[in-house]
C-alpha cells in the first residue's frame, strides 16, 4: 500500500532512502535545510569500503583524543568545551571502545558495507542516474612505520578471514601499481575489495533522477518543530509550511540529535567535522589511498584528486580551521613528495559534518514510542559507503519486509552503558 513519507535530510542517506522508497510506489517528500550542494555528502572521500571493519570506537581512541585535544591541527581533535551532551557521548564512547564490542561490530560492519557495494552496482546497472564514476580499484593503506604496518596487518588478516580480498605490497610493487607518482612509503596493504566514486557527480544525478520520478525535494527549508499525538508524529513544521505524513524518516545527519530532542528522544550523536582539498589538475595518482601516519584519504575522482580527512569534535559549525587544512596538505606532501598543493587549492577547502554515534555503528530502525518514526543516521565516516544499504533497509522496514541483513546492532535506542 502506498504511503506518504517525509524524509528529513537530503544527504546520501536521505536520497538513497527516497530512491528505494519511490521504487516501492510510495509518495516521498525530502526536506533539507540546505540547497543540497554542500556538506558531508559532497566533501567526503567517496569510498565504498568493506575493508573498514573496525569502528571508530575502538580501544585507545579516547586516550588518543585526550592527547591531541590541545593540538588543533591533529588528525583527531576534540575542542575543549563545556557541553554536557558531549561529556555523556564521550563516556558512552569510552564504554563502547572495548575489544569485545569491536569484535561484535566487525562482521556487522562488513555485511552492511558489502550490501551497499552491491547496491551501488545495481544503481549503476539500472541506468537511472545515467553514467557516473564507480570504480573497483581497491584501497591502499600506505604506511611509513613498522608500528602502522603491525596495526594494519592485524586488520588485514581479520578482513581476509571474513572473505575480503587483501594483498600486501612492498615498495617495488607500489611503484608498479602507481607508476606515475613517487610514493614515500615502506609499503601498503591493498584492500582490493573496495571501490570509489565521485560524490559531487553522484549527488546531483540522484537529485535529478528523483525529481524526474515525481518526488518532491524541498531545499532551503529547515524543520523547526515536530508534534506528536497518539504515539505518532502528527506534523512537521518547517520555516515555510507544515506537513503531515504516514511515515517520517529522520536522516538529518549531525542535526538528527537536535531534532530528536524536540520529541524528547535522547539520541547520543556528535558532529565530527571533516575537511577536503580538491586538486583540479593531473597528479599521477590513480589509486585511492589512506595515508596512515597522516590519517587522511586520497581519491582520484572524475576531473580532480581529492585529499580529505581529520575528525574534529567542536560542535556543529562551519568554521574552517586553516591549520587543519594545512595538515592535510602537509600530509599529502609527506607521502607524495613530488606533489605540491597550491595556496589557492588550500584556500578553496571545504568542510562537512559527519554524525558520529558512541559505538561507531549507525542508527537504523523504528522508534519504539513513535510508531511512524524511523531513524537513518549516525554513519560517521562511512556515510557515503553505507548510503544505499541504509536506504534499502529503511524501505524494507517501512514495508514490513524481511530486511536484507540483521539490523539489531543498529537499533536507535540501544544502550551504551
Q: Are the C-beta atoms of 309 and 295 separated by less than 8 Å?
A: yes
Average pLDDT taken over every residue of the chain: 94
User: What are the pLDDT digits (tens) for 189-242?
Assistant: 999 999 999 999 999 999 999 999 999 999 999 999 999 999 999 999 999 999
User: What are the pLDDT digits (tens) for 130-183?
Assistant: 999 999 999 999 999 999 999 999 999 999 999 999 999 999 999 999 999 999
Measured CA distances, 37 to 49, 92, 223, 230, 369 (Å): 23, 33, 18, 37, 34
- Can you list the positions of beta strands (E) in 280-395? 289-291, 296-301, 304-313, 350-356, 363-366, 373-377
Q: Hunting for cell 546492532 — which residue is that?
A: 409
User: What is the CB-side half-sphere exposure of residue 17 using CA atoms within 13 A?
Assistant: 35
Share of the chain above pLDDT 70, in %: 97
Q: Look at residue 187 and tell me whether its pLDDT is greater than 70.
A: yes
C-alpha cell at 407: 539490523
What is the Rg, in whole angstroms, of the alpha carbon atoms belonging to the chain?
A: 21
Among 309, 350, 320, which Cα is nearest to 76's?
309
User: What are the pLDDT digits (tens) for 275-301?
Assistant: 999 999 999 999 999 999 999 999 999
pLDDT at site 62: 65
Q: Look at residue 344 and tell me whether its pLDDT is greater than 80.
A: yes
Superfamily of domain 4-410: FAD/NAD(P)-binding domain (3.50.50.60)
pLDDT at site 253: 97
pLDDT at site 32: 98
Q: Look at residue 402 and tell me whether its pLDDT is greater than 70.
A: yes
User: What are the pLDDT digits (tens) for 34-69?
Assistant: 999 999 999 999 999 999 998 887 777 666 666 666
Evaluated on CA atoms 333, 337, 342, 343, the torsion sign reads positive
Amino acid at each position: 500500500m502506498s504511503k506518504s513519507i517525509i524524509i528529513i535530510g537530503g544527504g546520501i542517506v536521505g536520497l538513497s532512502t527516497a530512491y528505494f522508497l519511490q521504487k516501492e510506489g510510495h509518495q516521498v517528500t525530502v526536506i533539507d535545510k540546505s540547497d543540497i550542494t554542500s556538506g558531508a555528502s559532497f566533501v567526503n572521500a567517496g569510498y565504498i569500503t568493506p575493508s573498514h571493519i573496525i569502528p571508530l570506537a575502538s580501544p585507545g581512541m579516547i586516550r588518543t583524543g585526550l592527547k591531541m585535544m590541545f593540538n588543533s591541527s591533529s588528525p583527531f581533535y576534540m575542542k575543549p568545551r563545556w557541553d554536557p551532551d558531549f561529556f555523556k557521548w564521550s563516556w558512552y564512547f569510552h564504554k563502547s571502545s572495548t575489544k569485545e564490542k569491536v569484535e561484535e561490530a566487525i562482521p556487522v560492519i562488513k555485511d552492511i558495507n558489502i550490501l551497499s557495494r552491491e547496491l551501488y552496482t545495481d544503481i549503476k546497472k539500472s541506468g537511472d542516474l545515467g553514467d557516473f564514476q564507480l570504480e573497483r580499484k581497491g584501497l591502499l593503506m600506505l604506511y611509513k612505520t613498522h608500528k602502522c604496518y603491525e596495526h594494519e596487518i592485524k586488520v588485514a588478516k581479520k578482513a581476509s578471514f571474513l572473505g575480503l580480498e587483501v594483498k600486501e605490497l612492498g615498495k617495488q610493487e607500489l611503484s608498479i601499481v602507481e607508476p606515475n607518482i613517487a610514493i614515500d612509503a615502506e609499503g601498503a596493504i591493498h584492500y582490493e575489495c573496495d571501490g570509489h566514486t565521485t560524490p559531487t557527480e553522484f549527488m546531483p544525478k540522484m537529485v535529478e533522477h528523483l525529481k524526474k520520478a515525481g518526488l518532491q525535494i524541498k531545499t532551503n527549508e529547515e524543520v523547526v518543530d515536530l508534534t506528536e499525538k497518539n504515539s505518532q508524529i502528527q506534523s512537521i513544521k518547517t520555516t515555510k509550511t507544515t506537513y503531515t505524513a504516514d511515515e517520517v524518516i529522520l536522516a538529518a545527519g549531525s542535526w538528527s540529535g537536535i531534532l530528536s530532542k524536540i520529541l524528547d528522544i535522547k539520541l547520543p550523536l556528535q558532529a565530527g567535522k571533516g575537511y577536503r582539498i580538491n586538486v583540479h589538475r593531473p597528479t599521477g595518482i590513480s589509486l585511492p589511498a589512506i595515508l596512515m601516519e597522516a590519517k587522511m584519504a586520497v581519491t582520484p575522482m572524475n576531473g580532480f584528486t581529492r585529499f580529505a580527512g581529520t575528525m574534529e569534535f567542536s560542535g556543529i559549525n562551519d568554521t574552517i580551521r586553516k591549520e587543519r587544512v594545512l595538515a592535510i596538505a602537509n600530509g599529502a606532501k609527506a607521502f607524495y613528495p613530488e606533489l605540491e598543493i597550491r595556496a589557492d587549492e588550500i584556500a578553496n577547502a571545504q568542510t562537512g559534518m559527519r554524525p558520529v554515534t558512541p559505538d561507531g555503528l549507525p542508527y537504523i530502525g523504528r522508534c519504539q514510542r513513535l510508531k511512524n518514526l524511523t531513524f537513518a543516521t549516525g554513519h560517521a565516516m562511512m556515510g557515503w559507503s553505507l548510503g544505499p544499504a541504509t536506504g534499502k533497509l529503511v524501505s524494507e522496514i517501512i514495508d514490513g519486509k524481511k530486511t536484507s541483513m540483521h539490523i539489531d546492532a543498529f537499533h536507535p535506542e540501544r544502550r551504551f552503558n
